[in-house]
A and B are shown apart, each in its own frame.
Chain A
């Protein structure tokens, strides 16, 4: 029994210690970055991720550090990870634009329709978990109002509570559906960054097939299908081809 208590205490303290340790590492990384010791900063920042913690700030810092080292694919990779956590972060978007200036390939973005743009913007307003938790919160408010509707005798207030509760029910459904569709969208639209200096886009997932075109490091692609060591990716301009899985890195 005593041993068990000791183990629990040790475990809790180690967790607490690792958390403060990560903060210390973060601060040290920031200092190293400021001093220009970028390699050390990267080591410290990636250690934090290895310890199981992250934040958009951490990814943003990693993106900046790699930018300073002219490592385009890593820089874009971490900026994109930061944007996954917060798609509207102005600083990240700003610095990502700097890194994208360094890309060799320029790929036009297909114009998407206005309505879906608006919907995407709306869904980007909150993260998936935020959407879902707001939905769940409104379900509980709906529950409360529904109970009130039942308890009230007076038909006027009954009417009032019934309207409120149905509005909240609709809101909660909208929130949860938004969260779920956003999640499903993200699941089907896994993106990746090209890490090889130059990769060939082939018509089939083998070396015998023709090379359609080639792209250089740092370009973002969308994953479509996987087959063995090969993956079918799509570019923002709609072109697609098979590339080797180990020449790209998924943003997840």
Chain B
């Protein structure tokens, strides 16, 4: 009977338990990892519920900074047909101030009902020194794993190459099993090139006096492209580490705990210096240490053959960041665009090698073509000065071909006509051997006194001659003309009437006699009473009239007298008229 009662009681109890389990009471609470913590410690807060809900609303974590979360976790369990459900939202908080901070209420909606958690107070005390428990894996990792960025030069010149090497140091105590890059630094304002690391190799080194193993994770060569403060963003790695614990396994070996840890190499600031301002004009940004070389494939050739000229810059520095200086060749050489060639290898000390431009040149005419020495300016980082290097000058001799004066004449095939002597019009002429020196006249002949006098002299001579002739003219040729004019005038004056009556004999002689009479009257002021041949001849002799004229005049008067009584022919009339004209002019001259 007693057994029956126990059995009953047991069953009863079971059923009660089952009943309570099936009662479905909702539980929503706040769980914190610790109630008191140091300022430098983190706090984990879980909001846990035993039934799924919606619209979770976390409190505003005033006085804290959320460093992680929310992380959601759900677990669903069936044990002996019994279901256990739990869901939680976790936050990692870092306190911002000391004192007691309240974590506010979180809300959730379950089955249409809103549930709230209770507010919770947390005490934040002074910073505590981190736990130095050698068994704490995170502490061990912190102590034994370091990521370091090594910068070769933090204050380089513009375009001066620097290198940055990321090394992951870890002590021999721990084993690094896996490394993954979370954040890759970006090198803004840098020309960067990663140097490939074919295999990560563990090397031995020392870090802060302790012996460490390290791997070189990343090597980069940087060429700053801007002056001033440049920032290199940090590199972050996610490292899985095996940390030894104090426990040992069955065989006495240490048991390792695997811990994942994020390590970051801090930000680095690079102060980039400006290049000195006294840059030569030809400076094109080359920084380093270089040499220049100018080469041609041939120096003696014929016209219309081609040759290559190469300008090569070799050395160390930012080779990929500038181009070689241009080739200065005479414009009469046909020049084609250059072919760029780059043989640059980059290692941790920077770029090294050579860059070159190869030009194809084709001469058209014979002659000499000097290719000017090429200058190249760069900033030498070791001497901190601008340096100019110069190539040698090359002279190309074009032996055969047309002369540029004559233009493009076909080149005569010299192999056939080698014995013929061609006229050397094309050749460069030898100097002259005849001096034919003359004085350098400093003053030009033009506008000189002798120039003017030589020009003016003939004009003066002409003026003189013309003047001289003018005075002489009247005495010679012009006089005759003058006389004839005078005679005509006289004839008109005295003989006009006689001339009218040339065909009438009586009238002619009457008028002729009258004319002679008038002439004498005007010239000799003779009276009509004195008009006798004797008197006339006397007067004429007095006036020095030559005998011939006197005789002619007397004859004319006689003729006039005879004509009244004797017949006269036309011929004698004309003769008498002419004689009258002649004698009047003769007498007029004298008297």
Contacts and interface: CB of A to CB of B under 8 A. Distances in A.
A190 interface: no
Contacts of A101: 330, 332, 365, 367-369, 404
Interface in A195-245: 197, 216
Nearest to B468: A150
A16 B435 CA distance: 15
Contacts of A97: 403-405
B405 A150 contact: no
Interface string B428-470: 1111111111111000111000010011001001100110010
Interface string A35-53: 0000000000000110011
Interface string B328-349: 1111100000000000000000
| Most A-side CB within 10 Å, residue of B429, B444, B462 | B429
Contacts of B435: 22-23, 26-27, 55, 57-58
Interface string A98-110: 1011111110000
B395 interface: yes
B370 interface: yes
Interface residues of B, number: 43
A142 B393 CA distance: 63
Contact of B469 (A60, A150, A179): A150
Contact of A98 (B368, B393, B458): B368
B331 A95 contact: no
B458 A23 contact: no
B477 interface: yes
Contacts of A197: 372
A53 B438 CA distance: 5
A129 interface: yes
A106 B328 CA distance: 12
B370 A72 contact: yes
B436 A183 contact: no
Nearest to B441: A129
Interface in B388-442: 393, 395, 403-405, 425, 428-440
B458 A60 contact: no
A78 to B, nearest CB: 11
A104 B329 contact: yes
> Which label, helix, strand, loop or mixed, suits the secondary structure of the B interface?
loop
A19 B429 contact: no
Interface string B361-380: 00001011110100000000
Interface in B504-529: none
A55 B431 CA distance: 13
Give the interface size class of chain A. 35 or more
A5 B446 CA distance: 34
Interface stretch (A6-14, A111-119, A132-140): A132-140
A208 to B, nearest CB: 16
Given A48-B437, A146-B465, A102 B405 contact: no
A106 B331 contact: yes
Contacts of A19: 437
Contacts of A128: 444-446
Contacts of A49: 440
A142 B458 contact: yes
B446 A183 contact: yes
Contacts of A74: none
Interface in A152-185: 153, 176, 179-180, 183
B422 to A, nearest CB: 15
Contact of B331 (A57, A72, A104): A104
Contact of B446 (A30, A93, A132): A132
Given A93-B405, A143-B461, A65 B431 contact: yes
Contact of A104 (B372, B430, B451): B372
Q: Which of A22, A100, A101, A128 has the most CB of B within 10 A?
A: A101
22 contacts: A19-B437, A22-B437, A30-B433, A48-B437, A52-B439, A53-B437, A54-B438, A55-B436, A57-B436, A58-B435, A70-B395, A94-B429, A95-B428, A101-B367, A103-B332, A104-B331, A104-B372, A128-B446, A136-B454, A150-B466, A176-B455, A216-B328
Given A94-B403, A100-B404, 9 more contacts: A64-B430, A65-B431, A72-B370, A91-B429, A97-B403, A128-B444, A128-B445, A132-B445, A143-B461
In the A-B complex, list the 9 residue pairs whose CB atoms are closest, starting with the nearest: A106-B331, A57-B432, A61-B431, A26-B435, A53-B437, A143-B458, A97-B405, A91-B429, A101-B332
